[in-house]
Chain A
Amino acid sequence: MGNTAENRENVMERRHIKISGKDVIAALRTSLPIMVTFLILGAGYGILMQEHGYGPVWSLLSGIIIFSGTVQFVSVTMLRAGSVVMAAITALMVAARHIFFSISMIGRYRDEGKRKWYLYYALCDETYAMLSKDDGPAEVNVSAYRLLVTLFDQVSWVLGSFLGGLLGTVLEFDSTGIDFAMTALFTTVFIQQWIDSRCHIPAILGLTATLACRLLFARDLFLIPAMIIIIAVLSVMRGKIEETGGAKDGRL
């Protein structure tokens, strides 16, 4: 009985979270490199939309409705006269990697109550990289931290695209190459994971399977076979990975 009451209290507690200054600072610290890059990349998208005749409000709407940089950039050329069926298929193909990400967050987000629907809807690559690697600094409320990191990342992208559409080419700044920031971010997470884990099979698998599929398949399609191979190998090698990694405690 005591146990059930405690559980209920726990659930109640997670249903209404309090956000402290500490949580905001921790989330800002995590999101900062993403926020800066999203503001600039978002502005690039806003400028492109403006050039195609769709002003800042369109960028804002698209950022809220789609919220995927890759899908949004592809969508620009389809807005005027693209086929609706092709638009759906293209978006499904480009965004397919999110299936992979969402599945792997089910365990972490299961106690997030109604907030989890926002967390899943706004789970972009960068937010996923930050929130799948750990539960944030020890002293933070993990629910508040997840919500804030997700929100800061999305707001930066949407705000950047709105401002890009508004100010357009007034901003004389050559941002060629800024997208490398995302490659750099994923690389730092990759290195940290490598240092922290005892079992390197998943890291090597992710890199080599995706690289092999990039060489074998079309540029727009290779992620789908890569994910299938990764899931298949992870399933077959489960015993070995859990044994060497001792992954039972959530770490490898």
Chain B
Amino acid sequence: MADYNHAMIIILVMGLATLATRILPVLIFGQGKKVPDYIMYLGRVVPYTAMGLLIVYCLKDVSVLEAPHALPEILALAVVTGSYLWKRNTILSVVVGTVAYMVMVQLIFV
């Protein structure tokens, strides 16, 4: 039982820490009647920087130096980019790119 209590405490603590990263900025910067001009500016531009950040974050464990030298990632990203520029359909590009990637890492570059 003590074991499960500890697990519950860990989950609660990590949940609280995660919640703090999501809520505290709002409590600090978003409580006034009028949102500061600078925060509004960040709201407009940060989404444009955030996608690059998230893409790099997703690929953080990929190594260019070790085999297969990021080839599955590069090829699958090319499939995503090419299909998206062609059809402009998010679902199509995500499905085609992911299937291509899964085939490569499961069957080709093993």
Residues of A within 8 A of B (CB): 32-33, 37, 54, 58, 61-62, 65-68, 71, 75, 78-82, 84, 87-88, 90-92, 95-110, 116-117, 120-121, 123, 125, 128-129, 132-133, 174-193, 197, 202-211, 214, 219, 222-223, 226-227, 230-231, 234-235, 238, 241-242, 247, 250-252
Contact = CB atoms under 8 A, between A and B. Distances in A.
Given A184-B77, A231-B42, 13 more contacts: A54-B7, A87-B17, A97-B57, A101-B46, A102-B26, A104-B47, A121-B23, A177-B105, A181-B97, A184-B93, A187-B80, A209-B49, A219-B60
A203 B55 CA distance: 11
B42 to A, nearest CB: 6
A75 B11 contact: yes
A132 B47 contact: yes
Contact of A75 (B10, B43, B56): B10
B9 A252 contact: no
Contact of B20 (A92, A128, A181, A202): A92
Contacts of B35: 106-107, 110
Contacts of A117: 23
B43 to A, nearest CB: 4
A85 B104 CA distance: 40
Given A54-B7, A91-B13, A219-B60, A247 B45 contact: yes
Given A103-B42, A107-B40, A238-B41, A91 B18 contact: yes
Contacts of A187: 51, 55, 77, 80-81, 84, 93, 97
Contacts of B21: 92, 95-99, 102
A88 B21 CA distance: 12
B1 interface: no
B53 interface: yes
Contact of A186 (B24, B25, B40, B54): B54
A213 B50 CA distance: 14
Interface residues of B, number: 70
A102 B11 CA distance: 22
A81 B39 CA distance: 41
A82 B10 contact: yes
Contacts of B54: 125, 129, 182, 186
A121 B22 CA distance: 6
Nearest to A179: B58
Nearest to A223: B57
Contacts of A176: 102, 105-106
Contact of B48 (A108, A227, A252): A252
Contacts of A91: 13-15, 17-18
A223 B54 CA distance: 9
A82 to B, nearest CB: 6
B11 A95 contact: no
A197 B11 CA distance: 41
B52 A210 contact: yes
A206 B7 CA distance: 37
B80 A206 contact: no
B7 A65 contact: no
Contacts of B6: 79-81
Contacts of B57: 97, 210, 223
What are the 3 tightest A-B residue pairs by CB atom distance, in nearest-first order? A206-B52, A207-B52, A206-B49
